[in-house]
Each structure stands twice: as C-alpha cells, then as structure tokens.
Structure 1
C-alpha cells in the first residue's frame, strides 16, 4: 500500500535568508504561458461568481489576468472577451463601426452590446463621419439616421503616428478620436485620447503586443468547438481547458484535438494534482498546467470522493515535471492569505489562481447581500448544484440526463471593496516575502524552494494570538 505524507500551505513556512533585496525593488513579472507575460503573478478563477468582463478588466489593469467562466453562452462569453480587449488599446486595429444609413436605434444597440461609445461611420469602407454617445443622449427619434447627427468634418491620419504626434493632434484639434485611413480613405485603425490616458493611468497593466489587455476564457472538453472560434475572433489571449480531473482520457483527447485544430492558441490544461497528471497534460498539448484538486474553500471534492492531494504537495510534485519540460505551472486554489501566494511561487508555481478572495470584490459578478448588518457577496463552487444547473455539467464529468451529485457548495464571503487596493495588499505581501528571502524576481522565488514544516502549535503561533483584536487589518482575518 502506498501511503505518503502530503502538506497544505498551512503546514509550511518559507525559510528566511540573508537579503539585500528591498520589497519595493522586486520584480513581480512572470511568464504565464508561451510569450504571454503578466506584471503580477495572479489570475482570477473561471467561476461564475468571480470572473466576468469587469473583473478581468480590473485585474489586467493591475497587471494580472482574468479567466472568464463558461457558464455563459458562447456568444456572450466571446462578447465579454471582446469588451476586455477593447477596453485599452494603442491602435484599435478593428474598431467597432456603423454604416451610413443605420438608424440611431441600431447604433445605440451596437454601443450597448460592445461598450464602445464612439463609432466611425463608414460608406463602402470609407470613413465619412463619427457618432458618439453624446449625439444620441438627447435625441428622442430612434428612427433618425446616423447621417443626420454624425460629425462629418474629421481629422484623420494616413500613417501610424508616434504617441507624441498623436497627442499633439488631439490637443490642436480638440478631438478625442483619431481615425487612421489608407490613401483611399478606408479605415485601417483608430486611436482614442481615452486609451492614451488609460495607458498613462495604468502603467502596470498586463498588455499584449498591440497594447490591449490580456484575458483568458474557460472552455470544456465538450463545448470547445462551439466556443473557440468566437473567442479567438474576439482576441482571446489564452484558453483554459477547465475540468476538475484533467488527467482523464476524454479531457486529454479533447486537448489533442484542440491543439491540432488551433495550433497557435495558447492553452492552459487542468486540473491535475501530481507529476504524472502534469506530464500527460503537457504531452497532449498544454502550454501551461493548472494544479489543484479540491483545495478551494467551496469545494467538497475531497470529502465527497475521498480523493485529492493537499495543495502544497500537489504543486511541489507537479512542478518537477513542468520544470523539466519547460512549461509554467499555475497553482489553482487554497490561497487564503498573501503569504500563500508566496509559498506557491516559492514551491515553483509561475502564478496562482484565486477564487474566494476575489469573490468579495466589487467587480465580481456575485450578488451583494446584507447579513447581520454587514455586506457580503454570493460565492459558489463550480461543482455546486446551482453552478452545475447553469451549465457546468461536463466540468465534473456528469453525463447528459444524469442526476448531479455536487462537489461544491454555495455560500457568501465578506465584501472586500475595489480590486486595485485589494490587489495592492496581496502584491505587497508577496514583495515582503521576497525581501525576507532575498529574491529579487519571481523567477528567483520560484527557484528558492526552502521551506520549514510547522506543527499545529506552530500554525497557531503564526496567527494572531493572546490578544483581542480591536482594529481589523485589510490583509488579515482569522478564517
């Protein structure tokens, strides 16, 4: 009989070392997958109470990335990816447009669906005007045509300007949008003053090579043919094959098919809990491996099935294979404090994926509820009855028509406010860990792997003890 010891994050501490590193000077950049780099090694979980477009935007602006869940129709999921990609740009290569002759009702519908409030107006591909939300705001005739209200006298650019030149043109002409056209007047791109301001306001944003925010989306072993074409057309940066047990035949075969059909797509495969699962994922075509079976706060897999691996050991086992095969590892679940992020990276993970801590943030899609005078937000596992009934049957290998046996629960978490200040608390905790260990970069922390196993009394000593807390800290509560 095989019987070995396995540890969770609570069972270990990073060992301190001599350091010449100040927390404020460390580099938190990490490689997520292939050539996609984040400025913060944190992703939000593909859960329907955690990540939709608002969370993905807020997280990417701070340097991380969101993974939009798949309890959405393929069309809506693709629309949400498109909203993230269009939120921030340098040059918008494929701007949202309307054609001459469109009604104001049609134009407003396009703005509502895309979140874009200023649209070039085209006539046979040539730019003839611009219409903005201001043109529609006080117009009560929905059947009026854009031709009647658009701005016609446009300032355009026939070449790609430098940032300085674009700013000068915005200032000189008091405009907010600068269409790029070819010699025939056909639209080739768009620069907006708001995008330039956003780049200035969010210097740490996680961006692709075109200056747009990075975003991922979840797909399943059954639904990927319906989802991926629309997601890729919307500008998806990476797909996450989102299953509870990645090291299973149907998942691996699906991954092989996805790799064969979409060879250039960056794919994160998951979830696995050991080196063998990681190896199988990589051999099937995964560009990164997501590790974690049962560590989530709302997951009951280990209790319902009696199967799983405590998360610290799962990461430590899988990373040996991932490192040998030069593939990043994402530690998914089990993070309760910023110190757990540091422990996961110190064990070899390139990034962590978080659900519980993000579910309470303002931009999470869960509903706000008031209980005993405090604000909470709803949070549920993707293996809960509600999530399964909303479309998550194949994540837990439930057959069509089969009665669902849940592997998760529905609950609530404390409201935690805005994304940016909360991420600052998490990121600073990791920075401090790097200062204590003398690691100047995420890559150095990944290679650190010096830990101390602690006892139950050691864990108790680590937490606040022998005192009555009279002032809560923004980065600590006893769970």
Structure 2
C-alpha cells in the first residue's frame, strides 16, 4: 500500500481518517475475488470472532467456521466448557446447518428461547429417540401457548440426504417451496438445510482441519497453568492457540509464547496484543505464527481512556504488518471495526485477518441471552475483557482477599446494551454484509485477492467532514 502523497503522514491514523482510491480493475465479477486469508491456517474468510465471553461460544464458533472463518473461545471459560465446545463444533456437519433438537413432548414454555438461538429460526422436533420428525419455525414457537407440546406445533418437513450436492439441494428445497429440510444424519437430528444456507455454502467454503472437521481456536491467559491448558486443549482438538495479554511488549509475554510453542508443537500460535513493530518482531522471535494487533480500539475497551496507552488502529496494523511480513509471518487486526469499510482498510493496511467483537456480540448466535426492552426491542448485553463483570467472573473462584484485590484492576465499563439489527439478526447476515463490502472494495481498488488488495491499495487522508460525507443518511437531512 502507499499514500496518495507518496509519504507516510507525520501523525497516527484511525480507520475513519483514511479512504481508498479507486483504480482500474481487470478481473471478473465481485464473486470471482479470492478473499482467502494469507494466514498459516486453513481459513477461507478473513474474519475471526474475538476471544470474549460475550462474543464467542459454541454457536458462534460453529457458524463462523462453517462460513470459512474461526472463532476463539475465551480464556475465561472453564476448561471443561472449552472441551465441550470443541466436541460440539467438531461433531457438527461442515456444510449443513445445526438447529436445536427437542423432544416432541416438551412444552413450548420450556423452550421458547430457542426461537432466537439461530438466525435461521428453526427448532427440530424429535420422537424421543434422536429421530427427527419435523420442525417448528421461530414465529410459530413464539406465538404458541406455554402448555402446547412441540410435537403438536411441528410442521411436516422434507428430508434431504447429507450427500446431496449443494446445487441439487437448493433445487430440492425451492421446487417444494420449502424453507427448511431435515438432513438425515444418524445421531445428529438437529441438522438442517435451508435455501439461504445452501447458497452460503456455495459462496463460503468452510474452514476445516486435516480430518475435514470445522476449525476451532482457544485462548489462554498469562496466569495459572496456561501452557498446560493449551497443551490439553490442543490434544483435545483445538487447532489454534491464542495467547491473550493486553501488554505483549514485556518479557513475561515473550516467555509465555516460548513455553506455548514448546507445548503445542506445530499448532498455529497467535500472540498479542502488540501495536509496534518491535513488539511484533519480539513475539515472532519467541515463536508466534501470527500477532494480534490493536490496543484500545474495541467498542468494549476502556484502556485508552483509563491509561492513556494505545495506538490508532490503522497505523498500528500498518507498522506491525510490515514487521511481520519481513519475517514471513502475519498479523490479525484486533479492534476498531464498525463497518465493512473498516475490514477492507485493515486488510489493505496489511492484516491477514480481522478480529470482530461487538459486531458479532449483537447477533442471535452470541452466548448472552436475548433480552427485550420496554418496547419489546431485542438486545444483548456485552462486556469487555477488563470490565467489572469480566473481572468478577474471572475471580469468582479466588479466596475472598485475592478476589477483592483483583477488583481493583477492572477498567470500569461493565456492560453495553447492543440492539439486534432486525435486518441482520444472525451471525451469517453480518458475515454476508462484511464479505459483500470486502469483495466490492477489492474490485474498486483493482484487486482480485487480498494480497493484491494490500499491494495495490492507495490510501488518502480525510477530515471528519470527509468521513461524514461518506455516511448514508437514511432519515434525510
């Protein structure tokens, strides 16, 4: 990438400070753009779900991996829960979607919350012996009387063989006017196919391990038996290990990376966060394959306001990516993305993938329960890694004095209310939007791949008024 002026500006830049200049494009349609990351892992989509309790759980991890990305399970999760999540994701079908499976005798009141568990909106009904007999659409489940049985609410649903090619599956569904089909998969009754899901599987190849199962990633912290936890999780099936520390430019972080590298063998090791070239080089020298870049840019992060420490994200990614590339490694941009343009700019600056937090937290698949406001509007509560809630959860098993001492190191922000977008309620809806913006951004800049996006990117600087000019005005002016 280069700046229009030919020189780096003498000040630091955020995503809002910059724009991309359009260039000649000699490729085909937007769909022909290759958005495969340059990471050393088998992802096909440059999106990573952040290692936060409010962002990544089993449903996020499974859904994102099926669409080509990877989600990182938080280091705050109990190891037992991490292993259960890994088992669940690895057991899921790499192409067909998962849905909650409930016995026919179950009352609607007991499972009404499942109507909002997935963006596709279906619950599978079984006969009590793991055999699917029908489905209940979300609207039907929400409107049901509490005492009604799921078996009485179920609608007849066609059955699809799991080996059906995707194009044939789409024809099977559309010819029948069916919104969903049960996929016959012994032992896994909650496997379904939808027309939209089938198209997405054609557009987004899944991220798979060497055995053809969906990719998983786990985070570990700096305290306790982090290396041992990482080794056990890797042995249990985790494909990627992420060391999380907000201050990677310190000797303990480098020592932790070295220990992890020794314990997890050839598993991909990600470490961060860093915001300077020197810290990036040090983490790679200690054994990291990928470096997370970003401090203070996340919507749930208060580090800059509390400490004054951090760095504008575009400049941080640019410098760290340059340092990593010189050593044959890559970086993930972690934080500061609010719109698809920010993902495009992070990749143009040199990131190989982009971590997403709050944007994914405000989807139906994120771990927090769906809540409703006074007017019935759906929302979820999110919280940061250093928030009061996160620190309290992390220290719950400590002795009283240690727990009280730990409370002095939260950074204040407890929760944030994130409204569910009625037009994009599901994680896959958000993925669609980001990928559409990314593919279009590549064609505008003359790129047919993410590597070309970085090579060809011409960056301009803009004022706050310039940024505002580019924002849509849905309510007029």
Indicate the TM-score class for this superposition, using the shorter chain for normalisation. 0.7 to 0.9
Q: TM-score, normalised by structure 1?
A: 0.72
CA distance in 2, matches of 1:249, 1:237: 26
For 1:101-180, what aligned pairs fall within 5 Å after superposition? 134-135=128-129
Which of residues 348, 352, 355 is equivalent to 1:353? 355
With over 3 angstroms needed to count, the CA separation of the structure-2 counterparts of 1:418 and 1:299, relative to structure 1, is same
What is aligned with 2:13?
7
Q: Which residue of 2 aligns with 1:280?
A: 282
- Tell me, yes or no, if the aligned pair for 2:254 and 2:283 is still in contact at 8 Å: yes
Q: CA deviation at 1:73?
A: 1.0
How many Å apart are 1:194 and its aligned residue?
6.2
The aligned residue for residue 222 of structure 1 is 223
SS at match of 1:317: helix
1:31 paired residue among 23, 34, 38: 38
Q: Match of 2:255?
A: 253
Shift of 1:428: 0.1
Q: Which residue of 2 aligns with 1:240?
A: 242
For residues 412 and 34 of structure 2, what CA distance do their matches in structure 1 show? Answer: 36
Q: Structure 1 pair 462/318, CA: closer, same or farther in 2 (3 Å)?
A: same
CA distance in structure 2 between the aligned counterparts of 1:331 and 1:72, rounded to whole angstroms? 23
**Cα drift, residue 371 of structure 1:** 2.5
1:206 correspondence with 2:211: no
1:379 alignment counterpart: 382
Q: Distance in 2 between matches of 1:136 and 1:30?
A: 38
Q: Structure 1 residues 135, 445: CA separation in 2 closer, same or farther (over 3 Å shift)?
A: same
Give the TM-score normalised by structure 2.
0.72
Using a 3 Å threshold, how does the CA distance of structure 1 residues 268 and 192 change in structure 2: closer, same or farther?
Answer: same
Partner of 1:167: none
Secondary structure of residue in 1 paired with 2:416: strand
What secondary structure, in the 3-state scheme, does the structure 1 residue paired with 2:321 have? helix
Superposed displacement of residue 201, structure 1:
7.7
Does structure 1 conserve the Cα–Cα contact (< 8 Å) formed by 2:130 and 2:188? no
Unpaired segments ≥5 residues, structure 2: 1-8, 96-125, 132-162, 165-182, 397-401
User: Unaligned stretches of 5+ in structure 1?
Assistant: 91-131, 138-162, 165-174, 179-189, 394-398, 471-479
Deviation, 1:89, is 5.9
CA deviations over 1:213-250 (Å, ceiling 9, x no partner) = 11111111224134223311321110110111111111
CA contact (8 A) 1:382 1:392 kept: no
Q: How much has 1:375 moved relative to structure 2? A: 1.4
| 1:65-76 alignment runs, 5 A limit | 65-76=70-81
1:96 corresponding residue in structure 2:
none
**For residues 261 and 68 of structure 1, what CA distance do their matches in structure 2 show?**
19
Separation in structure 2 between the aligned mates of residue 272 and residue 306 of structure 1, nearest angstrom? 15
Paired residue for 2:408, among 391, 401, 404? 404
Q: Summarize the Cα distance change of 1:219–1:64 in structure 2 as closer, same or farther, 3 Å threshold.
A: same
Tell me, what secondary structure is at the counterpart of 1:412? strand
Q: Cα gap change, 1:75/1:457 in structure 2, threshold over 3 Å: closer, same or farther? A: same
Larger Rg belongs to: 1
Q: Alignment length, in residue pairs?
A: 374
- Structure 1 stretches of 4+ moved >4 Å: 175-178, 190-201
Which residue is equivalent to 1:459? 467
Q: Cα distance, 1:440 vs. partner? A: 0.4
Q: Which residue of 2 aligns with 1:450?
A: 458
Return closer, same or farther for 1:387/1:133 CA change in 2, 3 Å cut-off: farther
Superposed CA deviations along residues 356-401 of structure 1, whole A, max 9, x for unmatched, are: 11011001012322234221111111110110111179xxxxx874
Mean Cα deviation higher: 329-338 or 78-87? 78-87
